[in-house]
A and B are shown apart, each in its own frame.
Chain A
Amino acid sequence: MLVHTPHPNLPPPSTSVGVIGWARKNLFSTPFNSALTLCALYIVVRFLPPVINWAFLDANWAGSTRDACTDGGACWVFVKVRLTQFMFGFYPADQYWRVILAFGLLGVLIAWLLLEKTPKKSWVAAFTILIYPIIAFILFYGGLGLPVVETNRWGGLMLTLILATIGMFFALPFGIILAMGRRSTMPIPRALSVVFIELWRGVPLITVLFMSSVMLPLFMPEDLRIDKLVRALIGISLFQSAYMAEVIRGGLQALPKGQSEAADALGLSYWQAMFLIILPQALKTVIPGIVNTFIELFKDTTLVLIIGLMDLLSIVQSAFSDPKWLGFSVEGYVFAGLVYWIFCFSMSRYSQHLEKKLHTGHKR
């Protein structure tokens, strides 16, 4: 007779197999895979050392004029000398602290909201949304005893970050409203949303910016002068919110109908169902799309160059024409590219982290 003896619970098998085991499994599993690995290896060996030599080993770091750049590699002296201008544009040097304080405060607030286990998140969120913008405006522009710095002196990374942050700040909620409008059963909100979205999606951002700075003033009354920066901001925010709306609509559509039915059956109102059930899930599924739109928005801020705003890229470019520093455009572009990349890559990483954090069990 077969008697069953209960099997004890064992720990799971260990997965560490060492470097060689890993390489064999992942890099050389098939002949084709091996060929690809060797190919990639060749490319790395062939191109990486020259790049490293140029950027680091042969590069020039010390000094303050172009004469310091004697080695063959990159001349980072150029970037070093111009750095404050790249960061702050033509903002008065004795007022830099205001910009640093404003961004520092924003950084602290965002970290507070994004990190786990920080207390009083809802108060901090309310402060960030309602009060911080006022503080930031006073710091950047002036008032309350601080001397006024006109927006035409703002520039560089500071201007890029202002454009991007305010653009995101408006594009996400506005996109949510537009997406809800487009999915609404009420004809007027739906029609308005559709017209708005399709209008803005049909026009290139360059055209939007150009019209906002060149054509709008022609139609506006003489005495109503809206700041160029504000016009660009409105253009960027509305333009990106149309894209955001479509991304979010995708999320709303992907949600099974049963979710809103269950919310209805429990007696939740339309807005309760929207904010407690529908939007949290819809936004979660489209995090990659939202971040993609944010990254696009961040990079699209470079287009303000055509209406004469001095964002990071245009201020770097304008430095190329300084007769004292002719011929260092590669360094300038690499630097600007690196700065953009750091910001966009951070957003991308955070979105991946967020997706993992919000993952709750298996999708069926």
Chain B
Amino acid sequence: MTQALTQPTPAHEDLAIEVKGMHKWYDEFHVLKDINLTVKRKERIIICGPSGCGKSTLIRCLNRLEVHQRGEIRIDGIELNDDLKHIEKIRRDIGMVFQQFNLFPHLTVMENCCLAPIWVLKEPRREAEETAMRYLERVKIPDQADKYPGQLSGGQQQRVAIARSLCMNPNIMLFDEPTSALDPEMIKEVLDVMVDLANEGMTMLCVTHEMGFAKTVADRVIFMDSGEIIEENNPESFFSNPQSDRTKLFLSQIL
């Protein structure tokens, strides 16, 4: 791609995500309040907090699945606003994995993976298929390439969803509770893939309640409650020495 869009300024160079004073409302309901967050390249961030506190809304704002009303979001130095060119560029840069997988049921696993590279990145089909096969091998299901999503187990589907996002070669990956819809024995196979990804240096933002996973991979844990970031710390301090009462209460319930 030509770099016709705003060149990142040097100060922003090593910042993948920059959120400043961001607010969001659903009608009257103030769901995100004054969010400030910077994520460096290759940083791995875990977001946790009680149900309904706005975790999903926050990460969905980062690729414009939800629109924020105040404040500023910059991804790789590009400001996220109404400009469709910016949104397009940012969405190519960010991969997202959903709780409900959201695979396209009318397409095979291979077609799911190749669709966006072919139509958005205009890759030739052959090349897109080779890339897809590489990522399917990485998530350990190359043999399922010609099946339809409906014929796979939940864990396999979620791994396909991860491979599908990776095929766009994103710089940043967002995960919204990727294991919450899975049976316990399938959680591990998905987490293993995510740990691999983290070890390879992918910038990751992950909403999850898997605290074991948080302890192994996270550089930072962010705790949210009622639309605010309450606490932000490295995993050791976060789990052993939480600062606020709300964090303590949350941890006592979840651990």
Contact = CB atoms under 8 A, between A and B. Distances in A.
A281 to B, nearest CB: 5
Most chain B CB neighbours (cut-off 10 Å) among A267, A269, A277: A267
10 contacts: A264-B64, A265-B65, A267-B120, A267-B168, A268-B116, A269-B88, A272-B119, A358-B106, A360-B106, A360-B151
Interface stretch (B97-105, B195-203, B216-224): B97-105
Interface of B: 63-65, 88, 91-92, 94-96, 98, 100, 102-106, 115-116, 119-120, 147-151, 164-165, 168
Contacts of A360: 105-106, 148-151
Interface string A331-364: 0000000000000000000000000001011111
Interface secondary structure of A, over-half rule: helix
A195 interface: no
Given A265-B63, A266-B115, A266-B168, A361 B104 contact: no
Most buried by A among B88, B96, B100, B119: B119
B98 A364 contact: no
A358 B106 CA distance: 8
A276 interface: yes
A63 interface: no
B116 to A, nearest CB: 4
Given A267-B116, A360-B148, A262 B102 contact: yes
Contact of B100 (A258, A267, A284, A362): A258
A284 B164 CA distance: 23
A360 B151 CA distance: 8
A261 B97 CA distance: 11
A217 interface: no
A287 to B, nearest CB: 13
A264 B65 contact: yes
Given A266-B91, A266-B116, A268-B119, A259 B149 contact: no
Contact of B92 (A258, A259, A267, A362): A267
Contacts of A266: 91, 115-116, 120, 164-165, 168
A277 B111 CA distance: 11
B177 to A, nearest CB: 13
Given A258-B102, A259-B102, A268 B65 contact: no
A259 B150 contact: no
B96 A281 contact: no
A44 B92 CA distance: 66
What are the 6 tightest A-B residue pairs by CB atom distance, in nearest-first order?
A361-B150, A262-B102, A258-B102, A266-B116, A360-B148, A267-B91
Given A265-B94, A266-B164, A360-B150, 12 more contacts: A256-B102, A259-B102, A261-B65, A261-B102, A262-B102, A264-B63, A265-B95, A265-B96, A266-B120, A267-B92, A277-B104, A361-B151
